[in-house]
Structure 1
Amino acid sequence: MNNGSKKQEMFSKMQERKSEVKIVRKIVAIVTIAFVLILGIVGLLGYNYVKSALKPIDPDATKTIAVEVPIGSSLGSISTLLEKEGIIKDSRVFKYYAKFKNESKFQAGDYDLTQAMTFDELIESLKTGKVYRKPVFTMTIPEGLTLEQIGNIVEKKTPYTEKEFMDLVTSDTFVQQMKANYPELVTDAVLADNIRYDLEGYLFPATYSYFEEKPSLESIVDEMVGAMDKIVKNYSDVLAEKKMSVHQLLTFASLLEEEATAQTDRETIASVFYNRMDQGMPLQTDPTVLYALGSHKDRVLYEDLEVDNVYNTYKNKGLPPGPIAGAGKTSIEASLNPSKTDYLFFLADKEGVNHFSKTYDEHLQKVEKYLRKSE
């Protein structure tokens, strides 16, 4: 083989090697690009998944889910429990989020959580032992309000009118639904012909939080009735012992709520009412007259006491047909635990201080002392 042939052969081999190198480089480049793309796709999918897992499952959810966190539960077990109950999407994401926030000391207990809660709200709830969510708005229903007065507050705080509220709470269909939802609270007693409003006194006075701009009117009222149901259930044994129905309790407590000015007065006034009923005397409480009249007055006149109405406890002995307002927990408890007294009369002076008497003569003396002399 001459030198020219050798050179040609070497040149050919070099060309082959260059071609192989180019192919290898292309393969490496393709593999590298593919790998980067795969990493990018995996990373993007992972990022989107984590981003999704960090958000509430259903921001509009209002239904509560009961979750029991056992004593001694670790962050991992709590995370798994939350995922199992459908509160969060991924337990690992919640666990690492809590670790990143340096949060791990959670309290055992029973929680009513929702799928609308954020991780921060869940963490705050588990730390404090109380369910925490930032509401869109709140609505406070004070003690001692009638359904019509509650409707006025609903109109001011929600998109619904007082008429829409009253139409709902006086609807036979809705009342039947409340009976089905809360059979121990809302009984056939509310259906008596002489009751003005079936659900009067059955909406618990409290501050309610709402986590959507326009909750349904049905859910608003249902929550208030449900709150009263929870309160009353605490006293089922006492009611059974006293042979007192829930309707009687709420009726009695509503009178107390309208008459009392302080906690100690509630228990003493309760004793006056019970003493009067035991002796067959009419209760003669002014708020029932005002309820019978259907209007508020700063002062009840003698002529008002003669109004012919089943709610007028000056004309009718015993309790009125049903509650005249929504009673709070203090009045409910005072109704079940009255003071032991011999009082049969009481009056409130111009400063709202109550004065109690055992006899009518003693009562008249206090009327002269605290009311007439100050006029």
Structure 2
Amino acid sequence: MTDQDSPAGPNPGSIDALAAQASQDPAQDRVRRSRNRLACGISALLLAIVLTLGGLLLRAWWTGSQFAAPDDYPGPGTGSVRVDVPQGANLTRIGRLLYDGGVVASVEAFTRAAMADPRAVSIQPGDYALRHRMSALAALGVLTDPANAGGLVIPEGRRAQQVYAAVDLRLGLRPGTTAAEAHRGAATLGLPGYAGGRTEGFLFPARYSVGHGTSAAALLRRMVAQARTEFAADGLGTGPGAYQVLVIASLVQAEAQSPADFGRVARVITNRLARGMPLQLDSALNYGLGRTTLDTSHQDITVENPYNTYLHPGLPPTPVDNPGHAAIRAALHPTPGGWLYFVTVKPGDTRFTDSYSVQQRNVAEFNRYQQQHRSSTPSARR
């Protein structure tokens, strides 16, 4: 019989034959499948264990390297060190200054503490007395107390001579040193050309940082630069027109008893200028006399000086102090009104009018109040 004539079916020794035999034994097939399932289960379990252990190890490494507490000292520190925080320094820069000065153990310890404390956004520039090896929280406590800033605060309305004296005192200089520096180095202070070399009006009221090497000239330059920045923010502009507004702002700062009155005082000044009326402002008169009091006598108004706005029409030749934002904005945008006179009858009671007769009654009431509360009676003519 030829191969072609052989009966159909697998060769007894072939793989197909063995498979056929196995398929014909159900018990063996079940055993084989059970063993396969067990092997797969064990493999999956081992893989899960490996992955879990790997994840735990990775998490432990990440936590240890990325989220571990930064280096920090444990207490209030020892000894003493001074750190100068400059204007505009952010928290990272402050942290770096503290770290470089040996105050904190790491920049990150300080920045983490600062970011968790809302007071940190108001850290003032200044020269701070701290200690070596302080905890980040202890250092932050010193920096967030404005009383520790050790800077120089120039209040609104201070005259240049008062600012000079404050700088002398803060820097431990002989009285008159800063004034001499202002006159000698006026050309290097950054004053605009229309200022004529005079600093009055350009020593902007603010807090200024003072470090070990701070000089009087450096402080004056910083004040003038600050003034230019703040003037631009207020929309003051430049040129002679801006200088006239600055003069008005200084008069508003000196005359108004409350910021609520700034706009109306500015309007009185502009209305009187528009009508050609003398300003008759005691603040300007006393500036020319070198006095800080607003008390004036009838004899005072006859004294010849360019700031005597009883004798000379128009504005005084320069500002009479260093005004702040509110006074500058009032001078730029006076409150609408027809007022020509004002007088502060008593604290919290400033009266404005366009009637001379009403003004006279207000002045009489002012004088009565003064007689009841003071031994000397100033005159009120506005």
Question: Runs of at least 4 residues of structure 1 off by over 6 A?
Answer: 59-63, 65-69, 86-89, 102-107, 111-114, 118-126, 130-134
1:188 pairs, out of 184, 188, 193, with 193
The letter of the residue matching 1:152 is: A
Gaps of 5+ in 1: 1-50, 52-58, 70-77, 180-185, 193-197
Measure, in 2, the Cα distance between the counterparts of 1:163 and 1:233: 31
Measure, in 1, the Cα distance between the counterparts of 2:179 and 2:338: 41
Measure, in 2, the Cα distance between the counterparts of 1:67 and 1:144: 28
1:358 pairs, out of 351, 354, 359, with 354
Residue 40 of structure 2 corresponds to which residue in structure 1? Answer: none
The 3 A distance-change label for structure 1 pair 368 and 208 is same
* Contact 2:164-2:176 within 8 A present in 1 as well: yes
Residue 150 of structure 2 corresponds to which residue in structure 1? Answer: 137
Measure, in 2, the Cα distance between the counterparts of 1:250 and 1:124: 44
Measure, in 2, the Cα distance between the counterparts of 1:68 and 1:207: 17
Are 2:251 and 1:274 aligned? no
User: Offset at 1:167?
Assistant: 0.2
Q: Secondary structure at the match of 1:364?
A: helix
Q: Secondary structure at the match of 2:343?
A: strand
Measure, in 2, the Cα distance between the counterparts of 1:295 and 1:103: 46
The letter of the residue matching 1:232 is: F
RMSD over equivalenced CA pairs, Å: 4.4
Gaps of 5+ in 2: 1-72, 74-80, 372-382
Measure, in 2, the Cα distance between the counterparts of 1:60 and 1:136: 11
User: Offset at 1:228?
Assistant: 1.5
Measure, in 1, the Cα distance between the counterparts of 2:177 and 2:150: 20
Query: What TM-score, normalized to structure 1?
Result: 0.61
* Contact 1:146-1:326 within 8 A present in 2 as well: yes
User: Offset at 1:155?
Assistant: 3.0
Residue 175 of structure 1 corresponds to which residue in structure 2? Answer: 186
Equivalences for residues 1-375 of structure 1 within 5 A:
97=109, 137-171=150-184, 174-179=185-190, 186-191=191-196, 198-212=198-212, 214-236=213-235, 239=236, 245-297=241-293, 299-351=295-347, 353-372=349-368, 375=371
Measure, in 1, the Cα distance between the counterparts of 2:301 and 2:275: 21
1:143-184 Cα offsets, whole Å, 9 max, x none, are: 22212222222233221133101101112xx221123xxxxx
Measure, in 2, the Cα distance between the counterparts of 1:251 and 1:337: 14
The letter of the residue matching 2:162 is: Q
The letter of the residue matching 2:157 is: G
1:206-256 Cα offsets, whole Å, 9 max, x none, are: 2333233x52111121222222122111023xx45x997332222111111
The letter of the residue matching 1:153 is: A
Q: Secondary structure at the match of 1:256?
A: helix
Q: Secondary structure at the match of 2:186?
A: helix
User: Offset at 1:105?
Assistant: 7.5
User: Offset at 1:274?
Assistant: 0.8
1:15-73 Cα offsets, whole Å, 9 max, x none, are: xxxxxxxxxxxxxxxxxxxxxxxxxxxxxxxxxxxx9xxxxxxx99979697899xxxx
The 3 A distance-change label for structure 1 pair 67 and 291 is closer
User: Offset at 1:204?
Assistant: 1.2
Higher mean C-alpha displacement, 60-69 vs 253-262: 60-69
The letter of the residue matching 1:278 is: A
* Contact 1:135-1:209 within 8 A present in 2 as well: no
The 3 A distance-change label for structure 1 pair 232 and 299 is same
Measure, in 1, the Cα distance between the counterparts of 2:175 and 2:336: 42
The 3 A distance-change label for structure 1 pair 314 and 112 is same
The letter of the residue matching 2:219 is: I
* Contact 1:350-1:371 within 8 A present in 2 as well: no
The 3 A distance-change label for structure 1 pair 370 and 206 is same
Measure, in 2, the Cα distance between the counterparts of 1:121 and 1:278: 63
* Contact 1:306-1:315 within 8 A present in 2 as well: yes
The letter of the residue matching 1:148 is: Q
The 3 A distance-change label for structure 1 pair 311 and 132 is same
* Contact 2:85-2:209 within 8 A present in 1 as well: no
Measure, in 1, the Cα distance between the counterparts of 2:368 and 2:87: 59
The 3 A distance-change label for structure 1 pair 215 and 343 is same
Measure, in 2, the Cα distance between the counterparts of 1:112 and 1:374: 41
1:270-308 Cα offsets, whole Å, 9 max, x none, are: 110111111111111101110111224452011111221
* Contact 2:86-2:209 within 8 A present in 1 as well: no
The 3 A distance-change label for structure 1 pair 98 and 166 is closer
* Contact 2:345-2:369 within 8 A present in 1 as well: no
Measure, in 1, the Cα distance between the counterparts of 2:356 and 2:156: 31
